Structure 1
Amino acid sequence: MAQPFLHQMKSKAKDSRCSNLFQSLLAVRGRVWQQVIMNNMRTQVVIIGGGPSGLLLAQLLHGRGIDSIVLERRTRAHVLSRIRAGVLETGLLDLLEQADAGTRMRQEGMPHDGTLITYGDEAFRIDFAELTGKSVMVYGQTEVTRDLYAARDKTGGQSEFEVDEVQIEGADSDAPAVTYLQSGVQNRIACDFVAGCDGFHGISRKSIPGATQRSYEKVYPFGWLGILSETPPVSDELIYANSDRGFALCSMRNPTLSRYYIQCDAGDHIDNWSDDAFWTELKRRIPAEQAANLITGPSIEKSIAPLRSFVTEPMQWGRLFLCGDAAHIVPPTGAKGLNTAASDVHYLFSALTRWYQHNDADAVAQYSHRALARVWKAERFSWWFSKLMHRFPHHSGFDLRMQRAEIEFLRSNEAAQKAMAENYVGLPYEG
């Protein structure tokens, strides 16, 4: 009787040891598994958004020895497929040079010393160079982004693509962090600051408590129908056209690639517009001389962009800062979108540099105030220029005569032309 009992006790002991071993293996495996799905990192600045403003900030910070990680929801190829305006202010040109991303822009960009304003068959030129001593550069936003990616690759800076479920933690504390999911792996980046460069629909602005924000918005009752065509531009400089049929813009990307726009109804759809219908309508809205010289061709891209103005205040909450479309949107009239984002980058870069080099907390605290002072001036210019050039549904006969008088005043008054030129080439960065 003793042998079976002894065998049972040995068997149970063996089972117990196996069970304990199994449990130990499970625990080890669990820790390894947890390490796999929660990848912890550390950097100084997390930049949410891999568009031009996020990349520009990353490069400028790198030049001052400040580390950053850029997070982008889309693929790099998708980011580089976006077609955007490409009129660059002098301030942005300087920032690109400082970020070591200006060489190709200087070689291939098209400097513009002025622009044409037309109304009916009347036309006059605003001479930027003569009035301000400055010019603008026509260089596509896609190319700017491509150059910034090349510069970041050169420095070995970390950029993560196809990130999902981005969340900002502890922005109102001294130890913020950003978490995200990538290829099924959960990641967490501890950092000093978070820069939200992720656009109007991104997570950054939504992470700021609504009670601390105030937003201002104006939605315009029309959009811009735009096409891109492999045709030479109708003019060496941009043409902004006011006509009784609505606004039109003749622009370009390079000497063989043109970008044209016409004002359309807010609810319009590109399916309503064949290429022939677009070209016919464009010719009706620009002076006869330019219409006769217009070379048409198949569109390689066609889209409708709504027009609105939007600003949220403040542009920071704790250690979270908003840049570009995350904080404000302007109508495309006057090409201030990317340029205003660049001014935000300038102010944030300056503030963070002073923080790390001089422990200047006041510079960081004043970011929103300094950035918004310039943002509202850019909003004013885009609002004014949009009102000047478009037909509004509510326009009365008096309104139209006032618009015409404003255009003719601009044509005849050098002070008015200088004010427009100063805004168009870019107001200086202050502070």
Structure 2
Amino acid sequence: MRTQVAIIGAGPSGLLLSQILHNAGIDSVVLERKSLDYVLGRIRAGVLEQGLVDMLDAAGVGERMHGEGFVHDGTELCFDGTRHRIDFKALTGKTVMVYGQTEVTRDLVDARRAADAQLVYEAEGVELHDFDTTKPWVTYRKDGVEHRIDCDFIAGCDGYHGVSRASAPQDSLKTFERVYPFGWLGILSETPPVSDELIYARHERGFALCSMRSAMLSRYYVQVPLDDKVEAWSDARFWDELRRRIDDKAADTIVTGPSIEKTIAPLRSFVAEPMKFGRMFLVGDAAHIVPPTGAKGLNLAASDVHYLSSALIAHYGSGEGELIERYSENALRRIWKAERFSWWMTNLMHTFPEASCFDARMQVAELDYVTSSRAGAAALAENYVGLPY
């Protein structure tokens, strides 16, 4: 098989890249080691920056998002038992869209299938070859049969545990990591959200987040120690703990119900440099992880797709190669700013085991500044809605 771009991973970044390239007349094949049902069964984040909304519109897959998603003009920070609203639209002129990552993936799958795209699910034993030459190639197994794809470029959109970063020459790869000493216990419930906008709560017992997926699907989180077990958290215990950490009005009005999903996710910050190895590029979680506090994971993957798709379109359109050579540099500049914001939000809102009384006072003072100063609020809003590409 021959294609122009072999894309490893059929998550939203791989599918979005394939869709954008298709619209520009560039062929691609997408390989995914999991089944389609597995990919669509993953419950992930749902806050989309304006830049990603614009990309989905430009790719021709935004119609359902605008019909079913929720535009949020701001968010609320809760501390000392009081909520304070950050007005994104007034401060930046921009908004965010609440629309689940699963739904983004579904829309992209539908669009690629409508275009008879080559999507290969349950591709086993994927290996990347000769990407340090002008003729890279990829091999995989499907239903016990070996296949080979010859291509011009390889895009590694296969996540933190994927084959793409593992295939890069390890002596050329530098990684940076911060592992946080807590996790997020999250539940999904078929209940109306407690607020029209997200509530980020700092409490001496730990962080909490009230978010949503739809008008009748809510997502809630509480900070827990890393060694906690999901089995130790009954639904009743979770709801009681959440009520303790949010303001009285939210605690009194929240609608509770049985959880339909309950997980504990560890938090980390991670960056791999560079993101280009010959004709193989790392995209999204293959190159970076952010704690979910700043809602940057999917959005950061989308900005990588922006830089890479622009570079490939320039290459095939005019033969211009500068954007390809600068892909890693351009992507990493924005990545590190998003990493900084996610790190800042995480440190601002969470209770750290080693924190002193002084540290706690500094958190409250920082929150007081952010919520009482237009400059402080604007800095948070600017980063939350998404820095320009």
Question: 230, 242, 265: which is aligned to 1:270?
Answer: 230
Counterpart of 1:233? Answer: 193
Match for 1:251: what amino acid?
S
Counterpart of 1:26? Answer: none
Counterpart of 2:145? Answer: 185
Q: Distance in 1 between matches of 2:124 and 2:228?
A: 33
Q: Percent same amino acid at aligned positions?
A: 61
> SS of the counterpart of 2:251?
helix
Question: 229, 242, 245: which is aligned to 2:202?
Answer: 242
> SS of the counterpart of 2:83?
strand
Contact 1:120 1:286 in 2 (8 A): no
Q: Distance in 2 between matches of 1:151 and 1:426?
A: 26
The CA deviation at 1:364 is: 0.6
Does 2:357 correspond to 1:397?
A: yes
Does 2:11 correspond to 1:44?
A: no
Counterpart of 1:366? Answer: 326
Counterpart of 2:72? Answer: 112
Counterpart of 1:341? Answer: 301
Question: 122, 144, 152: which is aligned to 1:162?
Answer: 122
Q: Distance in 1 between matches of 2:347 and 2:201?
A: 12
> SS of the counterpart of 1:85?
coil
Q: Distance in 2 between matches of 1:285 and 1:364?
A: 47
Match for 2:81: what amino acid?
D
The CA deviation at 1:362 is: 1.6
Match for 1:287: what amino acid?
D
Q: Distance in 1 between matches of 2:105 and 2:242?
A: 30
Does 2:259 correspond to 1:312?
A: no
Counterpart of 2:40? Answer: 80
CA offsets, 1:317-375, max 9 Å, x none? 00000000000000000210000000000000000011001111221110000000000
> SS of the counterpart of 1:198?
coil
Deviates more, 1:355-364 or 1:302-311: 355-364
Q: Distance in 2 between matches of 1:325 and 1:267?
A: 24
The CA deviation at 1:280 is: 0.2
Q: Counterparts in 2 of 1:10-49, with a 5 A limit?
A: 41-49=1-9
Q: State the TM-score, normalizing by the size of structure 2.
A: 1.00
Q: Distance in 2 between matches of 1:89 and 1:271?
A: 34
Question: 202, 205, 215: which is aligned to 1:255?
Answer: 215
Q: Distance in 2 between matches of 1:161 and 1:245?
A: 43
Match for 2:373: what amino acid?
N
> SS of the counterpart of 1:43?
coil
Q: Distance in 1 between matches of 2:227 and 2:123?
A: 33
Match for 1:89: what amino acid?
E
Contact 1:120 1:244 in 2 (8 A): no
Q: Distance in 2 between matches of 1:170 and 1:382?
A: 36
Q: Distance in 2 between matches of 1:267 and 1:59?
A: 41
Counterpart of 2:312? Answer: 352
The CA deviation at 1:152 is: 0.4
Total equivalences in the alignment:
389
The CA deviation at 1:154 is: 1.1
Contact 1:112 1:137 in 2 (8 A): yes
Match for 1:317: what amino acid?
F
Match for 1:274: what amino acid?
S
Q: Distance in 1 between matches of 2:336 and 2:233?
A: 35
The CA deviation at 1:71 is: 0.2
Counterpart of 2:101? Answer: 141
Q: Distance in 1 between matches of 2:321 and 2:76?
A: 46
Does 2:17 correspond to 1:60?
A: no
Q: Counterparts in 2 of 1:283-294, with a 5 A limit?
A: 283-294=243-254
Counterpart of 1:428? Answer: 388
The CA deviation at 1:100 is: 1.1
Q: Counterparts in 2 of 1:294-333, with a 5 A limit?
A: 294-333=254-293
Counterpart of 1:3? Answer: none
The CA deviation at 1:120 is: 2.5
Match for 1:220: what amino acid?
Y
> SS of the counterpart of 1:333?
helix
Q: Which runs of 5+ in 2 are unaligned?
A: none
The CA RMSD measured in Å over matched residues stands at 0.5
> SS of the counterpart of 1:343?
helix
Contact 1:228 1:299 in 2 (8 A): yes
The CA deviation at 1:302 is: 0.4
Q: Distance in 2 between matches of 1:89 and 1:267?
A: 33
Counterpart of 2:179? Answer: 219
Q: Distance in 1 between matches of 2:187 and 2:46?
A: 14
The structure with the larger Rg is 1
Question: 93, 105, 112: which is aligned to 1:152?
Answer: 112
Q: Distance in 2 between matches of 1:385 and 1:333?
A: 6
Q: Distance in 2 between matches of 1:213 and 1:162?
A: 28
CA offsets, 1:80-122, max 9 Å, x none? 0000010000010011111111000011100000000001312
